[in-house]
Amino acid sequence: MTTAEAPAHGAAAAPSSTSDSPDARALWRGGRGPLIGVLVLLLTGVALALVRSGDGGTLHPESPTPDGSLAVTELLADQGVTTTLVGTSAEAAEAAGPDSTVVVAFPQAVPPSRLAALHEDVIAAGGRMVLVSPGQEALDRVAPGVMVAGDDDSRELDPDCSDATAERAGSATMGGRYFDIASGGTVGPATGCYSEYNLPTLVILGEGEGDGTPDGTTLDAPGDTVLLGNRAVLTNDALADHGNAALALGLLGTRPDVAWYLPNGEEAPPPQDERGLLELAGDNWRWAAGQLAVAALITAIWRMRRLGPVVSERLPVRVRAAETTEGRARLYHRSGARDRAAEALREAARDRLAPLVGTGAGAPVEELTGAIADRARLPVAEVHDVLAGPAPADDSELVALADRLDALERRISPAPTTAATRAAGQRPSPTGSPNDRPTKDTP
């Protein structure tokens, strides 16, 4: 390749990109993992919502799934008992009467004050109220004095009580939630069946003799309350086991109508039942938060040890000073930073002129301008305007400033100090051009 061909070849070559900014493909490769994870979580949530909605819910009277209760409602229909699904406590209260049984499938999902009001309406009307696996808060409202004694696995238990319904059914799949009715304070008479360790899993309160209210008053109507500790006897999967079907029909079929209360979430809780976030989180949220904090600390220590110490790395390529200067100039021009560009030119000129006039590198600007003015025989104000004056207002003033700085350097030193000379790697001598070297006379 000849010297004349080199510029043409260099001009035709496409400039290589040295930008470290990630492109769209790099961003996608780095972020597709978290995005796919979020998408999977969303799809899983939607799938679970679809599975649990409609007739697929647990203890739903129209659900044919293993946890549904369609088989119970069909057996009740064969016995002439009509089952009606209700979604709010107001609808359940309207259905209450001497000929109706109100089944509360999830007492913990009903606001406590609404549950207490519904219980009073059912008992006052002479009906029966069946609560499936109630918690302590629900018991405090409908059966004060009855305590939750614990939870255990489902198992076959014998009735071991004098209740006629339980005796006819025989052994059944009970267990689950156990109740303590011997602690005192129970409103009305109580009968416990399917016991283990003297703790029943089926409790019938006030049967045939009137029931009571939380304030201690006795009602004359023959209403009663049933506490069912295990929901298995009402599900399709376990209805055919042991005496579950007979027990379910005996508990729910004593009256011709059944109002199956399955809360649908449309009924807002009253102000007295509103809870804060920490109350909804439960009693063990502090322990869970502590475990998460310890796990985060251990993960941080593990990652810190895995990454290791910081090490220096050599650059894969060397960039010429001229290319760096041109790149920085383009950045200054693109952002309109004439003030920074002018200050960079002035600072470089001051650094080069300081040793030529005998001042130190860190000398004040006033001392430097005075020394340069004496050396160049120029007014101090003019030299100060060139080396430390105001920033240029436009690009033309910036170019003019660069020319004035070059002229001032040429005035101090006859050696060329232009950008082309510096880019070529020549170091000017204070006394002349790089080629002007003093020589010895030969003898």
Q: What's the pLDDT at 356?
A: 86
- b/e per residue, 372-381, with b = 16+ CB within 10 A? bbebbeeeee
Q: What's the pLDDT at 288?
A: 81
Tell me which residue of 82, 79, 179 sits closest to 131, measured CA to CA.
Answer: 179
Which residues touch 148 (CB under 8 Å, ≥6 apart)? 135, 136, 139, 177, 178, 179, 180
**Whole-angstrom distance, CA of residue 160 vs CA of residue 379:** 118
Phi/psi for 64 (5° steps) reads -90, 5
Interstrand relation of 224-228 and 128-132 (parallel, antiparallel or unpaired): parallel
Whether the predicted pLDDT of 366 surpasses 70? yes
Whether the predicted pLDDT of 125 surpasses 80? yes
- b/e per residue, 340-358, with b = 16+ CB within 10 A? ebbeebbeebbebbbebbe
Q: What is the pTM of this model?
A: 0.52
pLDDT band at 76 (very low <50, low <70, confident <90, very high): very high
- Residue 66 CA: distances (Å) to CA of 21, 57, 105, 133, 211: 56, 10, 16, 18, 35
For 189-202, what is each residue's pLDDT tens digit?
788 899 888 889 99
Q: Which amino acid does the sequence have at 299?
A: T
Q: What's the pLDDT at 56?
A: 53
**Whole-angstrom distance, CA of residue 120 vs CA of residue 78:** 30
- SS3 category, 130: strand
Q: What is the distance of C-alpha 422 from the center of its chain?
A: 57
- Kindly report the CA angle at 98 between 95 and 104, in degrees rounded to 5? 50
Length of the chain: 443
Q: What's the pLDDT at 377?
A: 87
Q: What percent of the chain has pLDDT over 90?
A: 12
Tokens 């305590």 locate to 147
Whether the predicted pLDDT of 435 surpasses 90? no
Helix (H) or strand (E) holding 333: helix 321-335
Whether the predicted pLDDT of 209 surpasses 60? no
Helix axes 338-357, 395-412, angle to 10 degrees: 10
**Whole-angstrom distance, CA of residue 356 vs CA of residue 354:** 5
Domains of the chain plus CATH, in order, are 55-268 (3.40.50), 335-423 (no CATH)
pLDDT band at 259 (very low <50, low <70, confident <90, very high): very high
CB–CB of 413/428 below 8 Å?
yes
For 13-61, what is each residue's pLDDT tens digit?
444 444 455 667 777 776 777 788 888 888 887 777 665 554 457 889 8
**Whole-angstrom distance, CA of residue 207 vs CA of residue 211:** 8
Average pLDDT for 271-279: 59
Q: What's the pLDDT at 413?
A: 78
Q: Which amino acid does the sequence have at 358?
A: G
Whether the predicted pLDDT of 422 surpasses 80? no
Q: What's the pLDDT at 276?
A: 59
Whether the predicted pLDDT of 216 surpasses 50? no
